[in-house]
């Protein structure tokens, strides 16, 4: 088990201290990404930080769900292709008895 460490990040003007197994650089990159997404939403006219943060969270969650669906679809495609290949191999490979 990896030891948890404290990582301090500043997110939307607030300093937060997190306990995590992730590296400080990784956690800070997450915070930067979230700030960028909130900034993008604020530039569309949403000035309330809480609303912008909520919309960013929904948008990021949508990305996550779409990526999961795509991965499942790709895994299914690979599984289907493997079944076809196994069937082809079964047909062309002589059976030794």
Q: 72 is in which domain, residue-wise?
A: 5-92
pLDDT the model gives residue 96:
63
The pTM assigned to this predicted structure is 0.71
- pLDDT one-digit tens code per residue, 36-62: 999 999 999 999 999 999 999 999 999
Q: Identify which of 14, 17, 20 has the alpha carbon closest to the alpha carbon of residue 50.
A: 14
Query: Within a 10 A sphere around the Cβ of 60, how many other Cβ atoms?
Result: 13
Q: Report the Cα 95 to chain-centroid distance in Å.
A: 46
Residue 97: inside a domain: no
Residue ranges in the chain modelled with pLDDT below 70 = 1, 96-97
Q: Is residue 40 part of a domain?
A: yes
Answer yes or no: is 20 within a domain.
yes
Task: Give the residue among 37, 79, 29, 36 at the shortest CA–CA distance from 57.
Answer: 37
Count of structural domains within the chain: 1
């Amino acid at each position: 088990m990896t030891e948890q460490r404290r990582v301090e990040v500043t997110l939307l003007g607030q300093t937060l201290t997190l306990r995590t197994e992730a590296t400080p650089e990784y956690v800070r990159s997450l915070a930067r990404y979230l700030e960028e997404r909130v900034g993008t939403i604020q530039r569309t006219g949403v000035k309330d930080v809480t609303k912008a943060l909520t919309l960013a969270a929904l948008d990021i969650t949508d990305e996550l769900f779409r990526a999961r669906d795509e991965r499942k679809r790709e895994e299914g495609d690979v599984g289907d292709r493997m079944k076809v290949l196994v069937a082809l191999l079964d047909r062309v490979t002589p059976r030794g008895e």
